[in-house]
Structure 1
């Protein structure tokens, strides 16, 4: 009959620290095919919203989408985006919940611009930028500006 706890397992703290650091590093790095969005701008009481965003996709073979949250009560957004790619050819599509608003095809040395006024719905007022590569594409970079009106 057992009277105390079972045998204990001793794990050196250095091993735990290394495992934790590896876990945190892997959790913070998006996969290469992910469209990464970073935005700065103003948002006054969800009424006056204006943002500048950067969009990057490291490497991808299948379509991927960048989503930009508008966080506004307004019903329209005026959007302009400029995009480049290091390798490959990519069709860039500007979309809202109502459908496609503009398209451009980009390739190395041939940047593209998409512009449009998008309707925003109350429940899903995000802006979507879809990237459709022809084969593999590497190094998509872009800047997107929008203003809710």
Structure 2
């Protein structure tokens, strides 16, 4: 698993392997690593093949959303409201608690890594401007 947090136009995540870019769309994935590409393929129209144990924050143009696949509805997309903090992954409760206490997305992932044994490594960030343009740093 992992921890991916969003707050104030910044997405923070704990490892470069969690970010996949395809067709100009960025996927920040959580869940079973072997399912990441299957989730991306389903987003672009592939028929889901069996259970896909992955969830992603997706930046597609100006749209930021959570994306996953379930047996009942197939691919689903849920908008992420940019004025609210958001988190996915095994460290979600820690990240939300940190952001509720005023932490940035980056600090929230750092705090989650202290408590969640499945979160760790280099914390990277992606800043999204008001036009959906992204810049990455680590």
- TM-score between the two structures when normalised by the length of structure 1: 0.24
Mark the structure with the bigger radius of gyration: 1
- TM-score between the two structures when normalised by the length of structure 2: 0.26
Structure with greater strand share of residues: 1
